[in-house]
Chains A and B, each alone.
Chain A
Amino acid sequence: DAGITQSPRYKITETGRQVTLMCHQTWSHSYMFWYRQDLGHGLRLIYYSAAADITDKGEVPDGYVVSRSKTENFPLTLESATRSQTSVYFCASKTGSSYEQYFGPGTRLTVT
């Protein structure tokens, strides 16, 4: 299906485990973003990517790793999950010539 998808949609994991959240878009958008959404903070940028093999830190990158070997995929890895990483994670993408971002459906992650 065309669009931007995230998987899994829901995940429960234990403290210390490694978790990878997937984001896939079919539009060949050059820019991709990872956000987390927490009550009282709104959306905060974790990492973003301007193109394949180009990534940069956002506002809250600690504890997260990203890669972008293909334009359409932008996985987010929590190397050793902590309870403070319990959140809803949104992926988004956009073209290089537009300001509008398109958001995925979100992944609700609970770290126990």
Chain B
Amino acid sequence: DSGVTQTPKHLITATGQRVTLRCSPRSGDLSVYWYQQSLDQGLQFLIQYYNGEERAKGNILERFSAQQFPDLHSELNLSSLELGDSALYFCASSVDPSSYNEQFFGPGTRLTVL
């Protein structure tokens, strides 16, 4: 158990809908990362937050947005869902954004868009 929690574990929804994925980092970690893992694209970095502020952005679609709240939990919002958004979404956390800190991954949320 990495200490990172993600809810829900599974999510099944229809195209065009909007969903919110939630992540609570390990106690003491200030940085949160979101990743998307699909069979054809592998593990893709989406976005990173540090202490409430956006720090780095990856290949995140405009239909996706995220935020980190004062209590450090983070939410990833996915809207106008398409079939291709079906994937495993991981949240990871680290003490801070330094390259020397390992990232601890949560169990993931499996999103299925029908």
Binding partners A and B: no
